C-alpha cells in the first residue's frame, strides 16, 4: 500500500474519532440541558434539545458510513428495533404508544 492509501486510512481514523467525540459532546450537552431544567413549552429549551438529538443522529449515521454500514441498513435496524419493542410491549410502548407513533412516522416518511 502506498502513501495515498495510508493517508486515506489515517484520515478515516481521524474522522471516526471526531464523529465519536461529536456524539459524546452532544450527549454531554443534552445531559447539561436536562440537568439545568426544562421549562415546559420553552421554545429555546426544546430547540436546544432537538439540536443535540439531531447532532447525535447525524453523527451516528456518518459514523456508520465510515465503518462500512450503509444508511439503509441503519434505517432497517431502527425499524426492526421499533417492531421488536412493539411486540415485546416495551414500557415506552405499553404506557405511551411511542413506538407505534415512531413506526407510523417512518411509514409516512417512506410514502
64 with 104, same domain: the answer is no
* 37 band by pLDDT with thresholds 50, 70 and 90: confident
Predicted pLDDT of residue 109: 87
Residue-level pLDDT at 91: 94
Q: Are residues 14 and 25 in the same domain?
A: yes
Cα–Cα distance for residue pair 20/42, rounded to 1 Å: 30
6 & 51 share domain: yes
Predicted pLDDT at 8: 87
Q: Examine the pLDDT at 1 and tell me if it is beyond 80.
A: no
What number is the average pLDDT over the span 22-46? 87
| Residue 50 scores a pLDDT above 70 | yes
Number of structural domains in the chain = 2
Same-domain pairing of 110 and 95: yes
Same domain, 1 and 50: yes
Q: Is 26 exposed, middle or buried (0-12, 13-18, 19+ CB in 10 A)?
A: buried
Domain that holds residue 50: 1-69
Whether residue 76 sits in one domain with residue 48: no
Predicted pLDDT of residue 3: 60
Answer yes or no: do 62 and 102 share one domain: no
User: Which pTM was predicted?
Assistant: 0.85
One domain for residues 59 and 106: no
How many CB atoms within 10 Å of residue 99?
Answer: 21
Amino acid at each position: 500500500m502506498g502513501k495515498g492509501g495510508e493517508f486515506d486510512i489515517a484520515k478515516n481514523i481521524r474522522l471516526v474519532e471526531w464523529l465519536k467525540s461529536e456524539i459524546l459532546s452532544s450527549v454531554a450537552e443534552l445531559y447539561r440541558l436536562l440537568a439545568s431544567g426544562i421549562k415546559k413549552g420553552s421554545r429555546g429549551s426544546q430547540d436546544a434539545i432537538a439540536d443535540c438529538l439531531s447532532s447525535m443522529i447525524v453523527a451516528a449515521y456518518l459514523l456508520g458510513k465510515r465503518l462500512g454500514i450503509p444508511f439503509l441498513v441503519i434505517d432497517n435496524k431502527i425499524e426492526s428495533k421499533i417492531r421488536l419493542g412493539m411486540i415485546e410491549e416495551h414500557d415506552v410502548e405499553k404506557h405511551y404508544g411511542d413506538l407505534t407513533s415512531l413506526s407510523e412516522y417512518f411509514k409516512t416518511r417512506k410514502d
